[in-house]
Amino acid sequence: MPVLAHNTLETFCAEVLAAASMRADEARQVAHHLVEAEMKNVVSHGVNRVAYYLDCFANGLARPAGDILLAHNGATVLTVDGGEGLGIPAMERAVDQLLAMGRDQPIVCAGIHNVGHTGRMGAYVERLAANGRFALSMGGGGCDRFPLVAAHGGRGGVLSTNPWAMAMPGGGAGDVSVDFATCVVANGKVSVRRRTGESVPEGWLADKHGNPTTSIEAYDDGGALLPAGGYKGYGLSVLAEMMGGAMLGQPYEFNWMIVALDTNAFGAAAFDKDAAHVIEKLRATPPAPGFDKVRVPGDPERETEERCRRDGINLHDGVWDGLVAAAQSQGVAIPAIG
List the domains of the chain with CATH numbers: 1-64+313-337 (1.10.1530.10), 66-183+227-284 (3.30.1370.60)
Q: Give residue 234's pLDDT.
A: 98
What are 183's strand-pairing partners?
227
When pLDDT is cut at 50, 70 and 90, the band that residue 337 belongs to is confident
Alpha-helical runs (H) found in the chain:
6-19, 24-39, 49-58, 87-101, 122-129, 187-196, 216-220, 231-242, 271-283, 299-311, 317-329
Is it the case that residue 336 has pLDDT exceeding 90?
no
pLDDT at 175: 97
> According to the model, what pLDDT value does residue 155 have?
95
Q: In which band, very low, low, confident or very high, does the pLDDT at 188 lie, cut at 50, 70 and 90?
A: confident
Which range, of 14-28, 47-61, 181-195, 239-253, averages the lowest pLDDT?
Answer: 181-195
Q: Which amino acid is at 178?
A: V
Contact 293, 303 (CB under 8 A): no
Task: Report the percentage of the chain scoring pLDDT > 70.
Answer: 100
Instruction: Report the range of poorest mean pLDDT among 125-129, 176-180, 194-198, 222-226.
Output: 194-198
